[in-house]
């Protein structure tokens, strides 16, 4: 079975950037191949990694629904082919993107397709990194399940930490098979406040570390450069790597 790490958190906390750093960490430590999963319908993990999306699972299902199946090919074979084509191959890792839902506000079919495809693919990779959409929906839809580590990313704000606590509570309530949950405080201006530490402790969560605010991240993002290529002396990258040292098997 692969060692799987899922990232979750409130929107704007930098979880996708940290997912890219985690993939970079695994590659540098020869923990490959990696299956990188962008389970956010608003896909942007590819931008962090510097890759262009060729296709998505959502697109594959839409083509089948429209009847774009070639003559003489069964729907099952067509979907098998399209799903394989949706895997973006890179150096040390592959990326699969869920993509947009098939209807306004409906994610069910795309989510089911992603779950089924992961079950088929997972044994081909010793490591899986899943970047989830912001909020809690991926938990209630059971996209994030049976993972070794759930990294809940928060910024230092009260509202973001509150969201982190609620994500963990929902994961426990639904019993989705999370081995261990940790909180990461990202974009920190300093050490977490006593109030923040108390919030985390009272929720029976463990703070695994903090990642400082880093002007380099903002610079790369503003210029449209993949943060995957951020230099080794980046203070945020160093802090993230220290955290990953604690959790990666």
Check pLDDT > 80 for residue 137: no
pLDDT digits (tens, 9 = 90+) for 83-111: 788 889 999 999 998 876 555 545 555 56
pTM (two decimals): 0.89
Mean of the per-residue pLDDT values of the chain = 86
Of 8-17, 67-76, 117-126, the least confident: 67-76
The domain total for the chain is: 1
- Nearest partner of 18 among 247, 245, 248, 239, judged by Cα: 239
Q: Compute the average pLDDT of residues 7-29.
A: 95
φ, ψ (nearest 5 deg) of residue 125: -130, 130
The CATH number given to whatever domain includes residue 156 is: 3.40.50.300
User: Could you list the residue range(s) of the whole structural domain that residue 122 is in?
Assistant: 3-247
Check pLDDT > 90 for residue 138: no
- pLDDT at position 103 is 52
- pLDDT at position 145 is 64
pLDDT digits (tens, 9 = 90+) for 148-189: 999 999 999 999 999 999 999 988 887 777 889 999 999 999
The token duo for 169 is: 């509570």
Check pLDDT > 70 for residue 130: yes
Q: How far apart are CA 247 and CA 127, in angstroms?
A: 13
Check pLDDT > 50 for residue 140: no
Q: Compute the average pLDDT of residues 70-84.
A: 77
- pLDDT at position 161 is 96
């Amino acid at each position: 079975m692969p060692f799987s790490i899922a990232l979750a958190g409130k929107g704007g906390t930098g979880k996708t950037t940290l997912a890219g750093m985690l993939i970079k960490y695994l590659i540098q430590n020869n923990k490959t191949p990696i299956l990188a999963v962008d389970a956010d319908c608003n896909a942007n993990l590819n931008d962090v990694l510097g890759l262009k999306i060729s296709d998505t699972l959502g697109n594959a299902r839409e083509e089948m629904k429209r009847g774009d199946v070639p003559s003489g090919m069964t729907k099952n074979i067509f979907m098998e082919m399209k799903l394989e084509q949706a895997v973006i191959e890179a150096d040390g890792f592959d990326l699969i993107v869920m993509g947009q839902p098939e209807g306004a506000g409906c994610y069910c079919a795309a989510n089911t397709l992603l779950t089924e495809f992961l079950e088929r693919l997972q044994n081909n990779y010793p490591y899986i990194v899943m970047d989830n959409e912001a909020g809690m929906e991926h938990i209630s839809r059971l996209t994030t399940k049976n993972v070794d580590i759930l990294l809940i990313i928060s910024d230092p704000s009260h509202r973001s930490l509150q969201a982190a606590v609620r994500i963990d509570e929902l994961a426990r309530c639904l019993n989705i098979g999370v081995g261990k949950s940790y909180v990461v405080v990202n974009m920190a201006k300093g050490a977490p406040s006593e109030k923040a530490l108390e919030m985390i402790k009272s929720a029976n969560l463990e703070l695994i570390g903090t990642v400082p605010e880093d002007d380099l991240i903002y610079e790369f993002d503003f210029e449209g450069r993949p943060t995957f290529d951020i230099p080794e002396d980046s203070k945020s990258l160093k802090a993230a790597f220290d955290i990953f040292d604690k959790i990666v098997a």
